[in-house]
């Protein structure tokens, strides 16, 4: 608008100056104003082209910068995902190790507690057995001595001893008599008291009655004495049986304790070894996790910086695009205002200009002007026709026809043909400028929408590609884990088969060992016996000393060979047993490790399958959104991409049309000036005459 104000100011100055110097003026001020307006229009259009070029370069930089940052962000995200996967695996491993460590610690504590409890029970059982054994041995010894005493007394006195017992006042006195008679110790008598009380109670009344009425038949006492001996022998048998059973139970308990102790000690040793390995693996996982977290921190810092930079770049680019769009709209409004002003000047100042700047005799001026204007009109029409033919423009051809018709009609009616033709040309210029403005606005809209849609399409394609890559990677990782699980399962089956074969071979080797050992020990014993016999014989000096000595030497060699072979057999068996035990423990450790790997890998594969399903769902949603964007992109292509003629060609052709019309208008303006000069000279000549 400032340019328009300046233009009108110049116009006022020019008109004021021209009014004072009309007789000496070489150029019509109105024509100069129109020319200045045309120059300003070209300048504004040129500025628009330059701004468009700068904006295109800036938009290209924005696209390249966004693409570069997007690639960097994509790479950083992928690296962050890999590092997070490593950290998650370390966390899972650490959790597994912690769980296993807890199990091992609990197992060790349980086994140590069981061993301690078993040892305490064994010590208690052993103490009870020692006391019980001593008591039973003492009881058996007491019973044996008691039976011997009773049998001796019965052999000496028949029933007299029992008569004395029955005559005693109570069992205690009878026992004292037995102690005095048989020299039984006071400790032993306490053990017999219970027996005498239980076995003699049934005959007490009868014996007491017999003592009152007189001495009974000695045969009866022999029968009673025999029953007591028999009962004591039964008790002795029971006591010996109880002692044998107690000793057998003690032996079994000791064997069971030794077996349990060996098993628990082996289990504790194995568990502690496993615990040390697991703690070492946990420490390695913790170290790996710490290193990875440090790397992840660096990657995430760079990623956040790139994301911030991308957001800033996007904001700057959008701001620049909005500023460019505003400037384009301002230029279009300015061009419209200039075109309107120029049209007003052309259409509304012709009469006033003729009165102010043209002073001539009316008849002479009319005649001369008619001739001059006819020539100028013809030249203008010819120029427009040539331009229409050159540009293949139907619009210019129609304008040329209208200009020719206007010139012909004006020649017949006596009207001013310049005004009519100038009006047609000005209308056409205004129309073309308006179309140029609309096309420029449309191009700005199309560039903006297509740029944003293209960026969105690229963004969606990038995200879909990332998800596709992620899905493919997770699918491959899951398949790999499942394959590893299958391999581990196969290895576990092979390990079980190998252990079974080892067990079978160990049993066969142990059976052969027992057989060979027995044969060798028997052989050694036989050789020793033979040597003993021969040595004893030949030591007396008899027989063939030389041959006998040779045989003895040979037998000694054989004995040495047998003993050496026995030692080798025993050493081989011990080594085989140790190797079998070692390999079995290693197999058990490998089995435990592989089973843990199967458990973890199966769990991880399941998690990957779930994540793959979720990513596939997200990919479907993005593809749906991309479909909508592609449909909108297609509508933009149909709307913005010219199928018949590109925008640049249309603009080039329109600029040529406008310039051609300006040239035609300049021809008319130039002829009018020439007419003014000729008329002025003619008027001056008439006045002089």
Please state the rounded mean pLDDT for residues 202-208: 47
pLDDT of residue 66: 85
Residues 6+ apart with CB under 8 A from 562: 520, 523, 524, 527
Q: Which residue's entry shows tokens 């026709």?
A: 385
Q: Which of 153, 156, 144 is nearest to 178 (CA)?
A: 153
pLDDT of residue 214: 47
Instruction: Answer positive or negative: Cα dihedral of 281, 286, 287, 291.
Output: positive
Structure-model confidence comparison of residues 197 and 442, the more confident one = 442
Determine the Cα–Cα distance for residues 426 and 32; give it in Å rounded to an integer: 15
b/e map of 325-345 (b: 16 or more CB within 10 Å)? beebeebbebbeebbebbbeb
Please state the rounded mean pLDDT for residues 74-99: 91
- Domains in the chain with CATH codes: 122-279 (no CATH), 479-637 (1.10.287)
pLDDT tens, position by position, 378-392 = 666 666 777 666 666
pLDDT over 90 at 457, yes or no: no
DSSP 455-512: HHHHHHHHHHHHHHHHHHHHHHHHHHHHHHHHHHHHHHHHHHHHHHHHHHHHHHHHHH
pLDDT of residue 520: 87
> What does the longest C-alpha to C-alpha distance in the chain come to?
220
Element (H, E) at 689: none
Element (H, E) at 540: none
pLDDT of residue 4: 39
pLDDT tens, position by position, 572-622 = 999 999 999 999 998 898 889 888 888 888 988 888 899 999 889 988 988
Structure-model confidence comparison of residues 686 and 323, the more confident one = 323
Element (H, E) at 646: none
pLDDT over 50 at 137, yes or no: yes
| Collapsed DSSP state (helix, strand, coil) of residue 423 | helix
Least confident stretch, 218-227, 268-277, 374-383, 500-509: 218-227
Give the long-range contacts of residues 42-45, CB within 8 A, separation 24 or more. Answer: 44/3, 44/331, 44/334, 44/335, 44/338, 45/335, 45/436, 45/655
Q: Is the pTM of this model over 0.75?
A: no
Structure-model confidence comparison of residues 6 and 118, the more confident one = 118
Confirm if 684 and 361 have CB atoms less than 8 A apart.
no
User: In Å, how far are 35, 564, 644 from 399, measured between CA atoms?
Assistant: 21, 133, 24
- C-alpha of 55 from chain center: 43
Residues 6+ apart with CB under 8 A from 212: none
pLDDT of residue 243: 92
pLDDT of residue 535: 82
User: In Å, how far are 83, 171, 294, 295, 666 from 87, measured between CA atoms?
Assistant: 6, 91, 11, 11, 81
pLDDT over 60 at 538, yes or no: yes
pLDDT over 50 at 169, yes or no: no
pLDDT band, very low/low/confident/very high, at 342 (cuts 50, 70, 90): low
Instruction: Name the average pLDDT for the chain.
Output: 75
**Residue 575 corresponds to which tokens in the numbers above?**
């080594």
């Amino acid at each position: 608008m400032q340019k328009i104000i300046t233009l009108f100011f110049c116009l006022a100055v020019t008109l004021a100056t021209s009014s004072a110097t009309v007789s000496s003026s070489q150029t019509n001020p109105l024509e100069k104003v129109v020319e200045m307006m045309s120059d300003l229009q070209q300048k504004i259009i040129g500025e628009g082209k330059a701004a468009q070029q700068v904006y295109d370069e800036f938009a290209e930089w924005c696209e390249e910068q966004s693409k570069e940052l997007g690639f960097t962000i994509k790479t950083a995200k992928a690296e962050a995902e890999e590092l997070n996967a490593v950290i998650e695996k370390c966390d899972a491993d650490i959790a597994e190790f912690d769980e296993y460590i807890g199990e091992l610690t609990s197992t060790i504590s349980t086994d140590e507690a069981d061993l301690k409890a078993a040892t305490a029970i064994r010590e208690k059982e052993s103490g009870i057995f020692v006391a019980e054994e001593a008591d039973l041995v003492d009881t058996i010894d007491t019973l044996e001595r008691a039976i011997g005493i009773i049998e001796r007394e019965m052999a000496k006195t028949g029933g007299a001893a029992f008569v004395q017992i029955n005559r005693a006042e109570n069992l205690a006195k009878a026992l004292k008599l037995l102690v005095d008679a048989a020299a039984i110790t006071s400790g032993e008598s306490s053990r017999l008291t219970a027996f005498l009380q239980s076995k003699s109670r049934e005959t007490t009344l009868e014996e007491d009655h017999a003592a009152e009425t007189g001495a009974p038949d000695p045969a009866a006492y022999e029968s009673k004495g025999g029953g007591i001996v028999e009962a004591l022998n039964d008790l002795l048998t029971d006591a010996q049986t109880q002692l044998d059973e107690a000793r057998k139970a003690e032996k079994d308990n000791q064997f069971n304790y030794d077996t349990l102790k060996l098993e628990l000690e082996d289990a504790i040793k194995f568990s502690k070894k496993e615990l040390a390995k697991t703690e070492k693996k946990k420490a390695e996982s913790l170290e790996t996790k710490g290193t990875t977290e440090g790397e992840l921190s660096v990657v995430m810092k760079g990623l956040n910086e790139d994301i911030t930079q991308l957001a800033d770049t996007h904001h700057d680019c959008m701001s620049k695009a909005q500023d460019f769009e505003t400037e384009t709209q301002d230029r279009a409004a300015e061009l419209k205002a200039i075109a309107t002003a120029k049209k007003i000047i052309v259409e509304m100042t012709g009469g006033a200009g003729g009165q102010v700047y043209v002073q001539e005799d009316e008849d002479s001026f009319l005649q001369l002007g008619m001739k001059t204007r006819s020539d100028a009109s013809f030249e203008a029409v010819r120029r427009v026709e040539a331009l229409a033919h050159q540009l293949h423009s139907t619009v210019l051809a129609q304008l040329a026809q209208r200009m020719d018709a206007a010139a012909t009609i004006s020649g017949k009616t006596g009207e001013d043909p310049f005004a009519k033709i100038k009006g047609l040309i000005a209308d056409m210029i205004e129309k073309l400028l308006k179309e140029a403005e609309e096309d420029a606005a449309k191009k700005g809209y199309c560039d903006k929408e297509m740029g944003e849609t293209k960026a969105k399409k690229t963004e969606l394609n990038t995200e879909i590609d990332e998800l596709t890559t992620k899905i493919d990677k997770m699918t491959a990782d899951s398949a790999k884990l499942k394959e590893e699980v299958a391999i581990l399962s196969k290895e576990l089956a092979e390990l079980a088969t190998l252990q079974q074969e080892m067990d079978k071979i160990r049993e066969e080797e142990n059976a052969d060992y027992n057989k060979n050992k027995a044969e060798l020990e028997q052989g050694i014993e036989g050789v020793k016996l033979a040597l003993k016999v021969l040595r004893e014989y030949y030591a007396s000096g008899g027989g063939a000393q030389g041959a006998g000595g040779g045989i003895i030497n040979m037998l000694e060699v054989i004995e040495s060979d047998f003993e050496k072979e026995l030692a080798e057999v025993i050493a081989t068996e011990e080594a085989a047993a140790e190797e079998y035990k070692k390999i079995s423990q290693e197999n058990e450790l490998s089995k435990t490790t592989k089973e843990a790997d199967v458990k973890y890998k199966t769990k991880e594969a399941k998690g990957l399958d779930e994540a793959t399903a979720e990513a596939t769902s997200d990919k479907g949603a993005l593809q749906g959104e991309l479909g909508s964007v592609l449909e909108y992109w297609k509508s933009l292509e149909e709307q913005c991409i010219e199928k018949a003629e590109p925008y640049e060609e249309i603009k080039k052709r329109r600029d040529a049309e406008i310039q051609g019309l300006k040239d035609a208008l300049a021809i008319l303006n130039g002829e009018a000036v020439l007419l003014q000069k000729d008329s002025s000279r003619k008027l001056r000549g008439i006045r002089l005459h």
